[in-house]
Each structure stands twice: as structure tokens, then as C-alpha cells.
Amino acid sequence: MTKKILYVIVILLLALLIWRIGAAIFAPDKAKRKRPVRPPVAVEVDSVRYGPITEVRQLTGTVFPKYRYILAPKVSGRVVSIKKRIGDWVKAGEIVARIDNAEYEQSVMEVEANLKIAKASLSEARIQFDLAKQEKERVESLQAKGIASAAELDGAVSSYSAQESRLELAKAQVQQREASLEASKIRLNYTVLAASRPGFIGERFVDEGALLAPNAAVVSIIAIDSVIVRTTITEKDYYHIRAGQPAQVRVDTYGKRHFSGSVSRIAPMLSEASRVAQMEVELDNDSLLLKPGMFARVDVVTAQKERTPLVRSLAVVNRGAETGLFMVTGSESVAAYVPVQTGITTAENTEIISPALEGVVITLGQHLLDNGSPVILPGAATAKPSGKPTPERGEKIK
């Protein structure tokens, strides 16, 4: 009897267990089947507005003088005087230094003496030539009358030819001495070093008394009333920057002060090693504040529009290759994702080329949203555009 009761209890427990398992598997559980509702996200919004925008490429470079050249002698000698020191202004043609010219003056005097001798020889040769010519003409006249023999005529002709050759040799010797004199005078002029173009003395390499070899540097002369900033541009920026585009230059010495210039030259090739191209920005430096060697920051204006639809750059989201915005339209506090085509982009604003936008744009919290997500707006005054332009952000879309 006891065993029967035990069997009944076991069967009831098994039935109860099977019923519970079946209920857990097949019975509808509304709490589990119910999709969880995503809570609203608190966001900040801003209006789409019209206003100006400028695209600027920021580069770094170095300031160089408009031109720089080294003043050096073409002859050797000892420096006897240098009239200029670093920072001094030099006019075109002004004498900067002199080299001892005693040896070169002596050379000129020697060549002048040789020239006088050559000219005297030329005068003598010309006289002898005239006498030989007269003798030849006299013998030809006598021979025509039958008085002079053929041998006498041959002798006169030979003498004439010899004197003619001596005359040509004397002329050549005079020309040679004149050329030597000119060369000696040129070498003498090389002992005076004068500036070929105006500028400031940038460097002084020697002092008085120094013994110089040919082409040894004496001073460098630079022009800084107009300067050049040399920089490099990457392959990405190469086709956005063109000669003639305006540029602003800043140097650390003068803080936020800008110097206006323009892109003057762009190299027609990129370096194979660095993949960058050389670029030059030329600007006036009448104040002489910019000095060669300064580190410069260059802002090149590559695009500019006076009036175009703008949103804050913080509002733009990138999803793969697509760019878009989250907007709130109408009275419902629901975010709608809108793919957009952007134009000029700066750190603050982004141009929207298409589509035409209506409503307000979510600028903070959009990375937590999906299309159709509920949002909590900061307030009616902020969420809804007033339609009045503000001086800082331009004109809002109505």
C-alpha cells in the first residue's frame, strides 16, 4: 500500500514538472515578447542658416628674401678695406670692398708699354711698306719702257710682298697688345667689389687684411622689401591651390598679426620621395618686419562664397561613405536622418549643397540616434528657429 502511494506521488511530481516545462516553453510570455522601448535622448539643436563661408588651407613654411647674392672677387689678393657691416644698406653700384691692386696696376703699365712698342713697330712697317710699294711701281714703269729687266721687277715685287707681310704682322701685334691691355684693366677692376643690386648686408664673411682666393665670399646682400614664403603642398591639396590665390602669413614673433600676399609659384611636379610640391607665396614687406629664416604659417583661401546654406560642423555625421544630418521637423520630437551633399567645410560651419533643409538640426547627441529615435529638445525657444538672422551666424532659413 505504501509503495502505491509513493508511485502516485512520483507520478504527480513528474506530471507537475512536465507541465511547468511545457508552460515555460509554449506559454506566451508577454514580458519577454514585448520589444524594449528606447528612452528619448537629450539633444541640442541649431538652425540652418545662410551666410558667407571661406575655405582655407593651412600650411607652414619659411621666410626667404626676394633675392640674395654673394659678393666675391674674381681675382686673388688681400682685402684692404670693407666699408659695410651687417645690416647696412647698399645701393646699386656702391663700392663695398677693395682688394690690394698694386700688382694689377703694374700689369696694366707693362701692357701699355708693350702696346707703345707695337704701335712704333707698326709705324716703321707702314713706312717700309710704302717705300716698297713705290719701288715696285717705279720698276714696273721702267720695265714697261724696256729699261728695267725682269729680274729687277721680280726683286721689287718680292720686297713689296715681304713688307706687306711685316705690316700685317705689326697690325696683329698691336691688336694683341690692345686685347692684353683690356684684360689687364678688367682684372684691375675686379679688385673693386661693388653691389650689382640694392639691398642689406646679410652676412660678412671676412675682415680687412684677409687674403682671398678667387670667388671667395666677402659679403651677402639680400632684399627684404618684398619677401617669399616657401612651403610645400600635399597631393591632396595640389589641385585646390592655384597661382594668384590670396594668402595670409603669420609668424610667431607678431602673434595674430597677418601679412597679406598671394600664391606666386607652384612647382609643376611632386617630389617622388616626399609626395609634396614646392610652393611660393610672395608678399610686400615695406615695414621690414618679416625677416628671412622666420617660421611662417600660411593660410591660403581656396574657395569662398558670400551666401550659402550653412550648418554647424558638429552636426554632420558620417556613416560609411555617406554624409548626413539628424533633423527635427514638425511638432513631434523625433529625429529624422537626412543624407546631404556638403561643400566647403571649416571647423565651425559646413555648406549644404543639397537637399534644401527645413526644421532644426541636431548638433549634440546625434551619435546616439537612429532614424525615428525620440529626442528631448532643450526648449521651444532653442528647438524652433525664430526666422531672424543673427550677426554671428547669418540668416536662418524660414
At residue 390, the pLDDT reads 37
C-alpha cell belonging to residue 169: 704682322
Provide block-wise average pLDDT over 10 residues at a time, the chain (398 residues): 67 71 60 59 88 90 96 94 94 95 92 92 90 83 77 82 90 93 92 95 94 94 95 90 92 90 94 93 93 94 89 89 87 86 89 88 86 79 39 41
- What are the sequence ranges of the domains in the chain? 42-53+306-396, 73-100+191-217, 104-187, 224-304
d(C-alpha 61, C-alpha 297), whole Å: 6
Helix H or strand E segment including 54: strand 49-71
End-to-end, the C-alpha distance of the chain in Å comes to 92
Fold that domain 224-304 belongs to in CATH:
Elongation Factor Tu (Ef-tu); domain 3 (2.40.30)
C-alpha cell belonging to residue 283: 608678399
Which segments of 189-321 are extended strands (E)? Answer: 192-194, 199-204, 211-212, 219-234, 246-251, 259-266, 276-284, 295-312, 317-319
* Residue 64 identity: F
The answer to whether domain 73-100+191-217 has CATH 1.10.10.10 is no
Closest CA to 138 of 155, 162, 163, 161: 155
Vertex 361: Cα angle to 359 and 365 (nearest 5): 140
* Residue 83 identity: K
At residue 27, the pLDDT reads 53
At residue 350, the pLDDT reads 92
- Residue 90: helix, strand or coil by DSSP? strand
Please say whether the beta carbons of 69 and 218 come within 8 A: no
At residue 5, the pLDDT reads 72
Residues 218-257 have pLDDT tens digits of: 999 999 999 999 999 999 889 889 999 999 999 999 988 9
Please say whether the beta carbons of 247 and 115 come within 8 A: no
The answer to whether domain 42-53+306-396 has CATH 1.10.10.10 is no
Please say whether the beta carbons of 184 and 108 come within 8 A: yes
At residue 55, the pLDDT reads 87
- Residue 70: helix, strand or coil by DSSP? strand
d(C-alpha 79, C-alpha 95), whole Å: 13
CATH of domain 104-187: 1.10.287
Please say whether the beta carbons of 299 and 247 come within 8 A: yes
Task: List CB contacts of 263: < 8 A, sequence separation 6 or more.
Answer: 241, 242, 243, 244, 245, 247, 279, 280, 281, 300
At residue 333, the pLDDT reads 83
Please say whether the beta carbons of 361 and 325 come within 8 A: yes
Asked whether the domain spanning 224-304 has the same topology as the one spanning 42-53+306-396, the reply is no
Residues 265-314 have pLDDT tens digits of: 999 999 999 999 999 999 999 999 999 999 999 999 888 889 999 999 99
H runs (alpha helix) in 27-90: 30-33
